[in-house]
Chain A
Amino acid sequence: GAVVSQHPSRVICKSGTSVKIECRSLDFQATTMFWYRQFPKQSLMLMATSNEGSKATYEQGVEKDKFLINHASLTLSTLTVTSAHPEDSSFYICSASDNQQYFGPGTRLTVT
């Protein structure tokens, strides 16, 4: 099956700093990638849809200036959490789509 990777798998940062998370489709090209957020014992919440070469589409309630998404190529999308706060601590998961959605392993962000 298709493989999606994320880096880093775990990151701890101080409040006020920015963190970049990478999502890569390793064996297929993905014109569309998705970014999700998951809190403990809760389901995935879609944050934004990222299309290669164009601006991301954000879900209602997600601050586009805080969660910067760049989909620079057909195999790479990045999510940058700017001026992170402790409430941004969460599990961030990306997925990449060809004829199905394939999820990355997730990135656990802890903001201290």
Chain B
Amino acid sequence: QEHLVESGGTLVKPGGALRLSCAASGFRFSDFYMSWIRQAPGKGLEWIAYISSGGTSVKYADSVKGRFTVSRDNAQNSLFLQMNSLRVDDTATYFCARDTVGMDVWGKGTTVIVSS
């Protein structure tokens, strides 16, 4: 059974940095593109980053471009999101998802709170 588990969310001060992880199991991770999506409290879904199966192609939403970096380790079945220069409006639950035709497998999310 396909499974994604995010971790690394915590309280961080504005301007700080954080690295989120997403552990995959139950499928051949290296075959699939992956995305990060976030959801601010009480708000809708916002796609923020995407990485190809081999890690050679990445795309970002304008809201995070230049601050966030997506990467993956296929040997470890893991996806990462390095978040720098965090802002209060980055406060959200961050989900990783398997990106196929739509996003067919989601983790439960990890919460990032940016506050002084």
Check if A and B associate. Answer: no
